Amino acid sequence: MSDDTAVKLGRKDFQTDQEVRWCPGCGDYSILAAMQLLFAEMGVRPENLVFVSGIGCAARFPYYMETYGIHSIHGRAPAVATGVALARPDLDVWVIGGDGDMLSIGGNHLIHALRRNMGIKIVMFNNQIYGLTKGQYSPTSEMGKITKSSPFGSLDHPFNPVSVALGAEATFVGRTHDMDRKHMMEVLRRANEHEGAAFVEIYQNCNVFNDGAFEAITAKDTRAAMLIDLKHGEPIRFGADNELGVVLNQFGECEIANLADVGEDRLLVHDEHRTDPSLAFAISRLAEQPTTPTPVGVFRDVARPVYEQQVQVQLAAASERSGPGDLGALISGGSTWTVE
């Protein structure tokens, strides 16, 4: 939400007096800067924002934003944020967490917040490792990953976070990376504008425990050939000379092809507003790991009733039928007993 009558804001209005304590070179710094610059640019008032986090390196985020903030418990940030959004639907509620926090102990809370279409914005910093606890493999680490907790290589098949969000039928799903501030800000801006639950995955480099995990696709000399920037209503093309594109095969799966071989008419046109998430899901499966051409941008942006707004409608209807609720009567009514 913005206030056109407010004074012009700057990044400093969203910076706290707390020392930012991440490892030097961590990708979290660029995400923090992008967030602070974006809110200032959009004119969002700090007192209208709440940041909720769980546990992990990313969970320090609320300390560094001059807004309301809750540093909650491991994996439960979406549940806590759900309570905040229900109690204060007038506030903008953002959830910050890492891939371990969100997809391991917090996986259940994540998918239910998304399927309910809570009016919260969930930003997952994905560095494919547990950073705070010093380098164990996470739910997004590649198979064979050698870490302190998998000395012979991880046997776990990793999650694709965008696919998980689309499978939960999130109404907004995006992906960006910490090496491109402009792209980050645009995807986060779109998430902020969305009515309902928004999920944004940010590829974030952990230069201490998993350095270079995304270098194959984010290095400047490879981005053109490795990042597939999705644009609504446009054929999906990429490459240094836009010579590559995405097509559907006979099974409805997305494949990468040379434009010279297939012709432009065969290219898949991206439709982020398509009601059925299956096509967006197919696009999300183009890259099993971020070492081959990988889609970024907005995968899905559709409208559906927002959960807390529906709750307010139910409360108003109940009040109209029966009058204002009586909390004391509710607590003492029904089956109660006294313990002596």
The 3-state DSSP class for residue 290 equals: coil
Query: Is 121 a member of any domain?
Result: yes
- Structural domains in the chain (count): 1
Query: Is 213 a member of any domain?
Result: yes
Q: Look at residue 335 in the predicted model and tell me its pLDDT.
A: 77
Query: Is 249 a member of any domain?
Result: no
Query: Is 79 a member of any domain?
Result: yes
Q: How many CB atoms lie within 10 A of CB 252?
A: 9
Q: Identify the domain containing residue 205 by its residue range.
A: 11-219
Q: Look at residue 280 in the predicted model and tell me its pLDDT.
A: 98
Q: Look at residue 5 in the predicted model and tell me its pLDDT.
A: 52
Q: What is the CATH number of the domain that holds 83?
A: 3.40.50.970
Query: Which two three-digit tokens encode residue 280?
Result: 């967006």
Query: Is 96 a member of any domain?
Result: yes
> What does residue 199 show for φ and ψ, rounded to 5 degrees?
-120, 125
The 3-state DSSP class for residue 214 equals: coil
Handedness of CA 145, 139, 124, 95 (dihedral sign): negative
Query: Is 252 a member of any domain?
Result: no
Helices and strands (H, E) in the chain, number of each type? 12, 11
Q: How many CB atoms lie within 10 A of CB 110?
A: 27
Q: Look at residue 323 in the predicted model and tell me its pLDDT.
A: 80
Query: Is 311 a member of any domain?
Result: no
Query: Is 258 a member of any domain?
Result: no
* First-to-final CA distance of the chain: 51
Per-residue pLDDT in tens (0 to 9) along the chain, 340 residues: 445 455 799 999 999 999 999 999 999 999 999 999 999 999 999 999 999 999 999 999 999 999 999 999 999 999 999 999 999 999 999 999 999 999 999 999 999 999 999 999 999 999 999 999 999 999 999 999 999 999 999 999 999 999 999 999 999 999 999 999 999 999 999 999 999 999 999 999 999 999 999 999 999 999 999 999 999 999 999 999 999 999 999 999 999 999 999 999 999 999 999 999 999 999 999 999 999 999 999 999 999 999 999 999 998 898 888 787 787 887 777 777 788 8
Task: Report DSSP state, residue 147.
Answer: B
Distance separating alpha carbons of residues 179 and 191, to the nearest angstrom: 19
Query: Which two three-digit tokens encode residue 123?
Result: 């930003």
Q: Which helix (H) or strand (E) holds 174?
A: strand 172-177
Q: Look at residue 2 in the predicted model and tell me its pLDDT.
A: 47
